[in-house]
Amino acid sequence: MGNISYEFPVAKDDFERAGEASSKIKKILRQLGMDSGIIRRVAIGAYEAEMNLVIHSLGGVISITIDPESIIITAEDNGPGIEDIELAMKEGYSTAPDRIREMGFGAGMGLPNMKKCSDDFIIESVVGKGTKIVMKMMLKDGD
C-alpha cells in the first residue's frame, strides 16, 4: 500500500474556519480505524500547528502523510518566521497580543505541546521567509 497524503490550506486570521484542518485530520484517522491514543496525539499537534498558522503566520499549509510505520504532520507557512526558536519553544513564551489572549490563546504552550506529542519534532524558520514544523508519530502494533 502506498502512503496516503492530504493537504489543508490555512489562512491568516481566519478564526471562523480555525480548527477545520485538524478536525478533518482527526476524522480521516478515525475512518482509517486508528487507535484513539495516536489520534489524540496527532489531533493535538495538528491543532496547535493550525492555530499558530492562523494567529502568528501569514498563512500556510498543514499536511498529513500516513504510512505503515508513522503519521507525519507538517505545517509550513509563508512568514514572518521566528527570530529566536529556542525562546519560542519555552513554555509560557508568547507574543500573542491582548485581543488574541481574550480569545483564550497565548499561553505559550503550543510549540512545547507539539514537541511533547511527537516522537520526532523538527522546527526550522527563516525570518522573512517562513516556518516549517514536522511532527512524526510512530505507529505501534494495534494502532
Ligand X SMILES: Nc1ncnc2c1ncn2[C@@H]1O[C@H](COP(=O)(O)OP(=O)(O)OP(=O)(O)O)[C@@H](O)[C@H]1O
Beta strand pairing call for 120-126 and 70-77: unpaired
Contacts for 105 with CB less than 8 Å, ≥ 6 apart? 51, 55, 96
Quote the cell numbers at residue 123: 522546527
Residue 52 sits in the site that holds Mg ion (CB under 5 A): yes
Which one of 18-26, 31-39, 61-69, 80-88 is the stretch in contact with ligand X (CB under 6 A)?
Answer: 80-88
When CB distances are held under 5 to 8 angstroms depending on the partner's kind, the choice from ligand X, Mg ion, none that residue 108 binds is ligand X
Q: Tell whether residue 50 is a contact of ligand X (CB under 6 A).
A: no
Element (H, E) at 138: strand 130-138
Minimum gap (Å) between residue 91 Cβ and ligand X: 8
Q: How far is the CB of 42 from ligand X (least distance, A)?
A: 17
User: CB-wise, 34 or 42, nearer to ligand X?
Assistant: 42
